[in-house]
């Protein structure tokens, strides 16, 4: 507020001076006037030297050129002014913490009048350019061990010369044991999080960071910080028992060592490192064989040794030594001492069963066949001992050559005693189907002592059968056949697999899988395959069934085999005529003028002799004028037609029969309408006269939508036939099957100007020319691999045993 008032007074004085000057001079040259009242200006203290901080501006009524400048020692040290543009440039770095405001004098001159001056106030605004500074360093404090947690042990203090949030300080524990110490962020108070232990650590170094609240510096927000170290010295208390030195306390002594011989020396000291109280020694649990010096800790032999009396303990004497502080606290600690008596070689290696004390030299075990290498024999609780010491009690364990093919023994070298593990060495040889048991010897033999004492143990290992064999078929594929329409229960065949395993693992059950498997049944125990739905077995619809026969043993192992069942044809299809027949014959002057044999065609979709057709005329041929080829079905005249002999009959109805060669034969019949057109010559006019029927076109003699022309006009060609038909009366259907267009065994059925192929299973296309892609729809489950075949596909899993095949696209 004071600065603002000063600026206003400065403006008033300046304006009064200018006005007075104008009044006094009249029309004289006028001095320049600052056009921008620069009362005060704020400049951040982190403004870079050379930066433009302001631009002076003035006007001159006389339009004289103006020159700007700065005057005064302080002003010229801080700033420079471009005389032409009035741009004010910072000359010297600023530091708000040293000087937070300046009074400077700027000038403007028109070269005629005296310089016009203005004195603005420059305020320096704060930037976060100072780091917190710790006070009263270095820091060090003594803390008693076992002080309770949350105890405040010290306070660090730091100050920051910056203003505002940039001058606030927070404290952080940057390094040190954070599990034991914590620092209060606002106050810097250091407290314990848990008790200290002098014996764990006698001194701690805590690195503490002081960080300000952040602020602007150089155009960015920055946080300034500094660190210091607080040394925490832990003061020891008498709270620890004596500490033994040079552990463990174990040694060996010969059985014939003289009494009063020094055996071992026990050393201990006060457990508190900062306190050193004298130690007094004593023994506990000793049977009087040894004694200890209470001051020096030396243990001596008190009476003669007898190793055999310590046989159960392996010749080892064990007792405790107590070390007690000679102080009012009398803190104490115990430590075990083990003294081993060295014996002579008077024992042989001996086998035992488990924890028993009676020697045993025969052991049994049972394991599953194929047990993995490295697996020990279960239930074999074998122990071996040699009560001698050192090399006298060292021996090796081996298995005889026969047994070593199958098993190995560990450990291979024993000192004194050991539990014996016999492990599988070669699992491949442990095959129940080859052998059911293995006998071998385990030999324990001293390998260092001169006597080389040894002993043997016999082991009998019995193998248990496991389900390690899958059922096996003796063929990779089976081809069976059965007559179509066979009664339910009709035997198709027997397929059996073998399994080398015994018991339930060798018991096999059978099942059928695949599309069409419901048409058949398999005895799950015998493998006999029979018809289940005989009335659905139609060779003319599906001639082959591709199934999977699955054999599974009692342990779940399975294998499968492809099974193809071919349906044998029976004579169950009657020959069929698929159209009616009209046969037109033209007789001119008692001579057959227009004549073409007629071929009738029947189809029998049975195969072999059951599908072979014989043709004959069974009615309407009483005059005997017509004949038919029994194999081709071609009808012909037996003799020329005589108009007078016809007695006016110009239409015949012949009954033709198609009969197959099956047993018993099946047959069907059709009627062939024979139309005779008779034309005679008129000798007077030399014209043709249609005697038999003068209105043939009116009677629509053209068949199959043919266009009729008058027989008298077009004697040789009565009808114009549509595609697919031929003959004078369009009575002959062109046989599109004559060229055998159906491929891969497909059956051809003639149509009108077309044909239809009934394809064998596995083929498709108009002419059965394409192999069906069974794998196109990804039919296999579980991401198995689909392999396309001609009439089926197979699905292959990761295990080669899991292969399934299908007839119609489903696994």
Structural domain boundaries in the chain: 2-125, 133-235, 243-323+331-342, 350-464, 477-568, 576-732
Q: Is 2.60.40.60 the CATH classification of the domain at 477-568?
A: yes
More confident of the two residues 762 and 572: 572
Q: Which of 606, 614, 607 is CA-nearest to residue 573?
A: 606
What mean pLDDT is predicted for residues 728-746? 77
**pLDDT value at position 392?**
85
More confident of the two residues 522 and 151: 522
Give SS3 for 370: coil
210 pLDDT band, cuts 50/70/90, is: very high
User: Other CB atoms closer than 10 Å to residue 457's CB: what's the count?
Assistant: 23
Question: What is the per-residue pLDDT across 575-610, written as a single tens digit (0 to 9) for each?
Answer: 998 887 888 777 765 565 556 788 989 998 888 888
Is residue 107 over pLDDT 80? yes
User: Other CB atoms closer than 10 Å to residue 579's CB: what's the count?
Assistant: 12
Query: CA 641, CA 798: separation in Å to the nearest integer?
Result: 80
**pLDDT value at position 260?**
92
Query: What proportion of the chain, given as a percentage, has pLDDT over 90?
Result: 34
CATH superfamily for domain 350-464: Cadherins (2.60.40.60)
Is residue 466 over pLDDT 90? no
Query: Do 243-323+331-342 and 576-732 have matching folds?
Result: yes
What DSSP assignment string belongs to 240-286?
---EEES--EEEEEETTPPTT-EEEE-EEE-S-TT----EEEEEES-
What mean pLDDT is predicted for residues 458-469? 91
Query: CA 789, CA 762: separation in Å to the nearest integer?
Result: 9
Question: What is the per-residue pLDDT across 291-334, written as a single tens digit (0 to 9) for each?
Answer: 999 899 899 999 988 776 777 777 888 999 988 887 767 788 88
Query: CA 560, CA 495: separation in Å to the nearest integer?
Result: 11
What residues have CB less than 8 Å from 373, skipping those under 6 apart?
423, 424, 425, 426, 427
Is residue 805 over pLDDT 60? no
Fold of 576-732: Immunoglobulin-like (2.60.40)
Q: Which of 141, 236, 218, 128 is CA-nearest to residue 181?
A: 141
Give the residues across from 205 on adjacent strands. Answer: 231
**pLDDT value at position 13?**
37
**Residue 155: C-alpha distances to residues 76, 185, 201, 501 (Å):** 47, 11, 22, 83
Angle at CA 141, nearest 5°, toward 138 and 146?
A: 155
Ramachandran bin of 436, using left for φ above 0, alpha for ψ from -120 to 50, beta for the remaining angles:
alpha
**Residue 801 burial by Cβ neighbours in a 10 Å radius (0-12, 13-18, 19+):** exposed
What mean pLDDT is predicted for residues 662-679? 83
Calculate the CA 581 to chain-centre distance. Answer: 71
Buried b (16+ CB within 10 A) or exposed e, 51-64: eebbebebebeeeb
Query: CA 403, CA 754: separation in Å to the nearest integer?
Result: 81
Query: CA 804, CA 811: separation in Å to the nearest integer?
Result: 6
Contact 529, 480 (CB under 8 A): yes
- Which CATH number does 2-125 carry? 2.60.40.60
Question: What is the per-residue pLDDT across 406-435, written as a single tens digit (0 to 9) for each?
Answer: 999 999 999 989 999 999 999 999 999 899
- Token pair, residue 176, equals 């040190």
**pLDDT value at position 10?**
38
**pLDDT value at position 6?**
39
730 pLDDT band, cuts 50/70/90, is: confident
Q: Which of 457, 402, 464 is CA-nearest to residue 430?
A: 464
Fold of 133-235: Immunoglobulin-like (2.60.40)
Is residue 65 over pLDDT 80? yes
Cα dihedral 33/39/42/45 (nearest 10): 80
- Token pair, residue 371, equals 């047990």
Give the residues across from 79 on adjacent strands. Answer: 90
User: What is the enclosing helix (H) or strand (E) of 178?
Assistant: none
What mean pLDDT is predicted for residues 67-76? 86
Is residue 79 over pLDDT 50? yes
**Residue 474 burial by Cβ neighbours in a 10 Å radius (0-12, 13-18, 19+):** exposed
DSSP 803: E
Q: Which of 105, 108, 138 is CA-nearest to residue 122?
A: 105
- Token pair, residue 794, equals 């197979």
**pLDDT value at position 548?**
93
Contact 448, 386 (CB under 8 A): no
**Residue 713: C-alpha distances to residues 434, 648, 689, 694 (Å):** 100, 22, 10, 11
712 pLDDT band, cuts 50/70/90, is: very low
Is residue 16 over pLDDT 50? no
438 pLDDT band, cuts 50/70/90, is: very high
Q: Which of 237, 236, 230, 154 is CA-nearest to residue 202?
A: 236
φ/ψ (deg, to 5) at 198: -60, -35
What mean pLDDT is predicted for residues 688-702? 52
**pLDDT value at position 512?**
95
**pLDDT value at position 711?**
46
User: What is the enclosing helix (H) or strand (E) of 78?
Assistant: helix 73-78
**pLDDT value at position 588?**
67
- Which CATH number does 243-323+331-342 carry? 2.60.40.60
Q: Which of 178, 289, 809, 771 is CA-nearest to residue 546?
A: 809
User: Other CB atoms closer than 10 Å to residue 126's CB: what's the count?
Assistant: 20
**Which 3-state string (H, E, C) describes 394-459?**
EEEEEECHHHHCCEEEECCEEECEEEEEEEECCHHHCCCCCCCEEEEEEEEEECCCCCCCEEEEEE
Work out the widest C-alpha separation in the chain, in whole angstroms: 175
679 pLDDT band, cuts 50/70/90, is: low
Is residue 4 over pLDDT 50? no
**Residue 203 burial by Cβ neighbours in a 10 Å radius (0-12, 13-18, 19+):** exposed
**pLDDT value at position 537?**
92
- Token pair, residue 178, equals 């954070």
């Amino acid at each position: 507020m004071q600065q603002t008032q000063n600026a206003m007074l400065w403006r008033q004085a300046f304006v009064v001076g200018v006005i007075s000057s104008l009044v006094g001079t009249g029309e004289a040259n006028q001095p320049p006037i600052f056009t921008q009242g620069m009362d005060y200006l704020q400049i951040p203290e982190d403004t870079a030297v050379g930066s433009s901080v302001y631009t002076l501006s003035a006007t001159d009524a006389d339009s004289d050129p103006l020159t700007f400048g700065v005057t005064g020692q302080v002003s010229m040290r801080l700033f420079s002014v471009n005389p032409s543009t009035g741009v004010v440039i910072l000359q010297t770095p600023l530091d708000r913490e040293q000087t937070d405001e300046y009074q400077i004098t700027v000038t403007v001159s028109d070269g005629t009048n005296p310089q016009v001056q203005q004195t603005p106030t420059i305020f320096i605004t704060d930037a976060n350019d100072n780091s917190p500074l710790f006070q009263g360093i270095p820091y060090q404090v003594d803390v008693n061990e076992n002080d309770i947690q949350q105890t405040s042990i010290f306070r660090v203090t730091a100050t920051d010369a910056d203003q505002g949030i940039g001058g606030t300080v927070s404290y952080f524990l940057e390094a040190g044991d954070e599990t034991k110490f914590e620092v209060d962020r606002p106050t810097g108070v250091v407290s314990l999080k848990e008790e200290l232990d002098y014996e764990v650590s006698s001194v701690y170094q805590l690195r503490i960071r002081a960080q300000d609240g952040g602020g602007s510096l150089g155009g960015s927000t920055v946080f300034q910080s500094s660190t210091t170290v607080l040394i925490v010295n832990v003061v020891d208390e008498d709270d620890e028992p004596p500490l033994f030195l040079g552990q463990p306390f174990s040694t060996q002594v010969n059985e014939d060592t003289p009494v009063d011989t020094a055996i071992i020396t026990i050393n201990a000291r006060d457990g508190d490192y900062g306190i050193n109280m004298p130690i007094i020694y004593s023994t506990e649990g000793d049977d009087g064989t040894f004694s200890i010096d209470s001051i020096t800790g030396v243990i001596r032999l008190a009476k003669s040794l007898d190793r055999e009396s310590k046989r159960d303990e392996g010749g080892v004497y064990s007792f405790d030594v107590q070390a007690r502080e000679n102080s009012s606290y009398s803190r104490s600690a115990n430590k075990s001492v083990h003294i081993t008596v060295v014996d002579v070689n008077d024992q042989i290696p001996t086998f035992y069963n488990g924890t028993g004390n009676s020697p045993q030299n025969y052991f049994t075990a049972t394991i599953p066949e194929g047990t993995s290498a490295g697996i020990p024999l279960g239930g074999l609780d074998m122990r071996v001992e040699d009560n001698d010491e050192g090399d006298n009690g060292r021996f090796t364990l081996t298995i005889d050559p026969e047994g070593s093919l199958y098993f190995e023994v560990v450990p291979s070298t024993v000192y004194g005693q050991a539990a014996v593990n016999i492990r599988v060495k070669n699992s491949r040889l442990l095959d129940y189907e080859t052998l059911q048991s293995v006998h071998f010897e385990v030999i324990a033999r001293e390998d260092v002592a001169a006597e080389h004492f040894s002993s043997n143990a016999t082991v009998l290992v019995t193998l248990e059968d496991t389900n390690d064999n899958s059922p096996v078929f003796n063929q990779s594929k089976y081809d069976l056949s059965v007559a179509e329409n066979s009664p339910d229960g009709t035997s198709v065949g027997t397929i059996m697999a073998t399994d080398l395993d015994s018991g339930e693992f060798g018991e096999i059950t059978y099942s059928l899988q695949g599309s069409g498997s419901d048409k058949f049944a398999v005895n799950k125990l015998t493998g006999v395959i029979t018809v289940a739905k005989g009335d659905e077995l139609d060779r003319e619809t599906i001639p082959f069934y591709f199934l999977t026969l699955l054999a599974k043993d009692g342990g779940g192992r399975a294998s499968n085999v492809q099974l193809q069942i071919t349906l044998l044809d029976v004579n169950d299809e009657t020959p069929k005529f698929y159209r009616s027949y009209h046969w037109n014959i033209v007789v001119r002057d008692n001579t057959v003028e227009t004549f073409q044999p007629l071929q009738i065609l029947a189809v029998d979709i049975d195969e072999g002799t059951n599908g072979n057709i014989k043709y004959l005329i069974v009615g309407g041929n009483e005059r005997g004028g017509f004949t038919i080829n029994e194999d081709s079905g071609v009808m012909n005249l037996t003799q020329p037609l005589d108009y007078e002999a016809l007695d006016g009959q110009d239409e015949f109805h012949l009954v033709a029969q198609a009969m197959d060669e099956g047993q018993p034969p099946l047959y069907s019949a059709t009627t062939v309408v024979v139309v005779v057109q008779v034309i005679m010559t008129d000798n007077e006019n030399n014209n043709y006269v249609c005697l038999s029927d003068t209105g043939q076109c009116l009677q629509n003699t053209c068949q199959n939508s043919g266009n009729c022309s008058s027989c008298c006009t077009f004697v040789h060609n009565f009808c114009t036939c549509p595609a697919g038909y031929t003959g004078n009366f369009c009575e002959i259907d062109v046989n599109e099957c004559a060229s055998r267009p159906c491929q891969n065994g497909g059956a051809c059925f003639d149509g009108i100007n077309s044909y239809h192929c009934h394809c064998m299973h596995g083929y498709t296309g108009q002419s059965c020319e394409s192999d069906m892609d069974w794998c196109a729809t990804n039919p296999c489950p579980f991401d198995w691999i689909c392999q396309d075949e001609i009439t089926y596909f197979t699905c292959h899993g990761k295990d080669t045993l899991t292969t399934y095949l299908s007839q119609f696209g489903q696994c």
